[in-house]
Amino acid sequence: MTHLTNFTDSTSSTINVYIVAAKRTPIVKAGLDLKDLPLPYLGTALLRNILDNYPALQQKGVPLSFELILGNVYSPPRYNNIARAVASMAGLPANTADTIAYTINQHSASGMQALIQAATKIKATGKTSSRFIFAGGIESMSQYPLLLSRELTNILNNLHKLNQERGKVGIRIRERLAALLKIRLKDFIPVSAMEQYCNYPIGMVSSAESLNREFDISREEQDLYAHNSHLRAIQAQKEGRFYDELVPLVVGTRIDRILTHDIGPKADSSLTRLANLPVIFDKKSGSVTAGNSFDISDGAAILLLAAEDVLQEYSLKPLAKIITFSSRTSSEPNSSEPNSSETKSCIVDVLQKSKLRIEDIDLFEIEDAFSSQILALQKVIAQELAPIPQEKINVNGGAISLGYPLGANAARMVVTLVHELRRRKGKYGLAALGGAGKGESAAIIIENQD
């Protein structure tokens, strides 16, 4: 049985939380255009863009005090608190009691959990230690390292121990040689940090395959969803729908190119090509392929949150209001259940608290790292609540087409939701996710303020 830890907003709070700004970087497949950029730069570019476009956030050219909460699954060792590095490089006040920057890790829910923590702080007190809170996510999956195998690590640790011990020289030499002779060629095969930190690909793909069996999802259904995701993303790019949310980045080995768009959506996607791709693991009965699952990617997304009285004080017009939110953590983090039941529970929770129905929501951004993940959720929602119209779900593509920067993806979903709601002049938007194999689920409802 799965036991849940549930985190929700305070229903007794009368303090409204608003989204003042919402920006993201282009998303790029790992190993390509963003692979050599220092990780903090992805966040720094977003912070500077927001600060530069909102002069009211600076007094006499010096930024006011802020909080920065960033979701991140893995950072290079030199940036053990990536949020602090981003804040410092962006020029936010450093080494002051009023400037707080910290990083959280809740796997794929990290970016949304950063938003939830920021909103909770504002709703709880109305006056945080800072006037504004930046929240979002950042990830460079290009910079995930390769690790030594456990076997080789044990041998090297033993050698180090022998070096520290005292004894006859001859004995120590023999013991070291004996330890070295235990090394086999296979021990030098590195282990990917993605497997260590993200349970990818084995755990996540296994969860996706479990969903396919549980909900009777065919390979054809998965490929069709993936194909449509690419078509929607390409159409969104052609129509310039991402223009307001994207912050271009300067890239290249000589820092001589400007990256203005996501590198992931495939204009040449076809059902025939998807059908010809091999299954990743379960060759006999599996159906998850590289085509109907996500690309590991690099990217960042940051939103600026504030209470209503702060907006009035600084004469700022909000983009959206956060209506309510919910997050859940399973005590069975490696089960496939979080992908459907827990995400559904979060969606039901936010709908009940907001007194809204599925029919009242104009747009949905739902995590789709795997086609099976979102197809299973749709079946559960249709059975227990009401069907979600296809024309309302991930209208500009999702993780399968745009890419999946793990700790940033949930924040990216909210950024896209904010801007697409405004573009379509819709009222309510709902973003939801359920981690594939890690047990983290969350949902949030926002209201367009345009």
Range from 121-125, 300-304, 330-334 that averages highest in pLDDT: 300-304
User: pLDDT tens digit string along 205-263?
Assistant: 888 888 999 999 999 999 999 999 999 999 999 999 999 999 999 998 777 789 999 99
The pLDDT value given to residue 128: 52
pTM: 0.88
The tokens for 8 are 């929700």
Q: What gap in Å lies between CA 104 and CA 125, rounded to an integer?
A: 21
Is pLDDT at 283 greater than 50 in this prediction?
yes
Q: What is the predicted pLDDT for the residue at 97?
A: 61
What is the per-residue pLDDT for 205?
A: 84
Residue 126 has pLDDT above 80, yes or no: no
Stretch (H or E) spanning 446:
strand 440-448
Kindly tell me the sign of the dihedral angle through the C-alpha atoms of 388, 391, 392, 395. Answer: positive
Q: Are 11 and 37 in contact (CB under 8 A)?
A: no
Span 7-35, average pLDDT = 84
Mean pLDDT value across residues 153-174:
68
The pLDDT of residue 4 is 41
Residue 11 banded pLDDT, cuts 50, 70, 90: very low
Is a pLDDT exceeding 90 seen at residue 123? no
Q: Enter the tokens of residue 227.
A: 């194909």
Average pLDDT, integer, range 398-413: 96
Range in 213-217, 306-310, 329-333 with the lowest mean pLDDT: 329-333
Identify the bridge partners of residue 59 per DSSP, sorted by sequence position: 62
The CATH superfamily label for domain 8-144+296-448 reads: Thiolase/Chalcone synthase (3.40.47.10)
Does residue 341 surpass a pLDDT of 90?
Answer: no
Q: Sorting pLDDT into bands at 50, 70 and 90, what band is 63?
A: low
Please list, in sequence order, all residues whose beta carbon lies within 8 angstroms of the beta carbon of residue 352, skipping any fewer than 6 positions away: none
> Letter for the amino acid at 19?
I
* Mean pLDDT score, 100-112: 91
Phi, psi for residue 31 in degrees, rounded to 5:
95, 0
CA distance linking residue 91 with residue 72, whole number of Å: 21
More confident residue, 75 or 385: 385
For the chain, the domains span 8-144+296-448, 149-189
Calculate helix-pair angle for 409-424, 110-125, nearest 10 degrees: 70
Distance of CA 291 to CAs 271, 278, 380, Å? 10, 9, 24
- What ranges make up the beta strands (E) of 239-319? 249-251, 257-259, 297-307
pLDDT of residue 363: 98
Query: What is the mean pLDDT of the segment spanning 272-289?
Result: 90
Q: Which residue spans within 393-438 are E strands per DSSP?
A: 428-434
pLDDT at 265 over 90: yes
Average pLDDT of span 311-331: 89
Cβ neighbours around 50 below 10 Å, total: 21
Choice between 80 and 321, residue whose per-residue pLDDT is larger: 321
Average pLDDT, the chain: 86
Backbone angles phi, psi at 40, to 5 degrees: -60, -30
Q: Could you give the residue ranges of the DSSP H alpha helices within 276-324?
A: 308-313
Please tell me the predicted confidence (pLDDT) of residue 52: 92
Q: Residues near 311 by Cβ (< 8 Å), separated by ≥ 6?
A: 18, 20, 317, 318
**pLDDT surpasses 70 at 129:** no
Instruction: Please state, as a whole number, how many other Cβ atoms lie within 10 Å of the Cβ of residue 356.
Output: 18
